[in-house]
Amino acid sequence: MAKIIFVISRMDVGGAEKIFRELAIGLAGDSGFYDVTLLCLYGRGKLASGLEEKGIKVYENIVRSRFDLAGFLRFAGILRKVKPDILYIAGQPLSQAAGAIGALFVKIPVKILGFHSHNLAHRPFYKSLIDKISILSADKIVCVSESQKRHISAGKKLKPGKIKVIYNGVDINKFKPGKKAAEGDKVVIGTVGSLRREKGLDVLLSAAPAVLKKCPSAYFLIVGDGMEKDFLLGLAKKLGIEDRVDFLGQRDGVENIIPRFDVACSSSRTESFPVSMLEYMSCGKAIVATAVGGVPEIVKDSVNGFLVRSECPEALAEKLIYMIENQELRASLGANGRRMAEEYFTLDKMLENYKALFGDM
């Protein structure tokens, strides 16, 4: 039985955290093959709930800050106790630092560094230093898109063979096309994600007046929470569109909300390989998205959606209007997306790829 420890800062609601949860559950469910432990360096976070019932050991509140030397020693103590065969570290500065320090005290047969959610460009010196140390000490790097692999191999001067791309996956039985609830005359443009600057929701709101001028039936549904919430609420009011935008906040059961969308939208400034987009596709929704990071590996222009330039409300508005005015096209693109999710982006396929990686190591 292989002992695997996953290390992450905390399991808040987010795409990378969803993948960690599904990966841990999937491996723990493979009875007799994997002994899975999750280390949440800070608090657990919402997505760590219920994991013990699925046979996963969870440690939390290990460090109090990035300067907590005693916390890093506690982390090393857990490694010494568990004696993992594989240490899988989230590509976050705190997790990377903890992994590097812990490995100084405890011999780890295999160290894997997984970059699930962030861009390594334009980072402060101390974070770049942590990246350099952790990347060089890792036996394997996992990226979630070919775009991310190219960026890391070029920017960090790594041989491409050290990097393995494993696409994220989604539970296609949970996220599936459903009967759309009646919304009156509304055509719902929806998005799911954290309210952070990199998600570009200000760009979506800035595109909304042009969309509403041409298509008064348009209605914007934003699912998620975050530090930009007050700013975005203020922007919607400033633009005079507050009565056509609904901020739903953080919600459980997004698989029951996405079917309300007529068009799914991503206006991000940066992305790796967004889980939310896989969820849209799995629910059979056509997508309008900015062509950043790994997004063009998910959205194929004119096949399951449309790609637009980032930071360009005008281009985003143009494609949203086109989608709203072409209902049959929306249905066709959405059906194509569902087929693509079934073929390339299932949770089972993702788990198979990780098991193959761990087996090879």
- The answer to whether residues 155 and 195 belong to one domain is no
Q: CA dihedral defined by 298, 307, 300, 354, rounded to 10 degrees?
A: -10
- CATH number of residue 134's parent domain: 3.40.50.2000
Domain shared by 163 and 24, yes or no: yes
Domain count, the chain: 2
In a domain, 101, yes or no: yes
Would you say residue 67 has pLDDT above 90?
no
Band (pLDDT 50/70/90 cuts) for residue 295 is very high
Is the residue at 179 inside a domain?
no
pLDDT in tens, 18-49: 999 999 999 998 877 999 999 999 999 999 99
Residues 263 and 274: their CA atoms lie apart, in Å, by 17
Angle at 82 between CA 79 and CA 84, to 5 degrees: 75
Nearest in space to 221 (alpha carbons), one of 252, 262, 268: 262
Same domain, 117 and 85: yes
Higher pLDDT, 154 or 188: 188
Asked, for residue 180, whether it belongs to a domain, the answer is no
Decide if 178 is inside a domain. Answer: no
Q: Does any domain span residue 290?
A: yes
CA–CA gap between residue 98 and residue 248 (Å, rounded)? 36
Cβ atoms within 10 Å, residue 350: 21
CB 130, CB 113: distance < 8 Å: no
Domain-embedded: residue 75: yes
Residue 93: give the domain boundaries. 2-169+347-360
In a domain, 182, yes or no: no
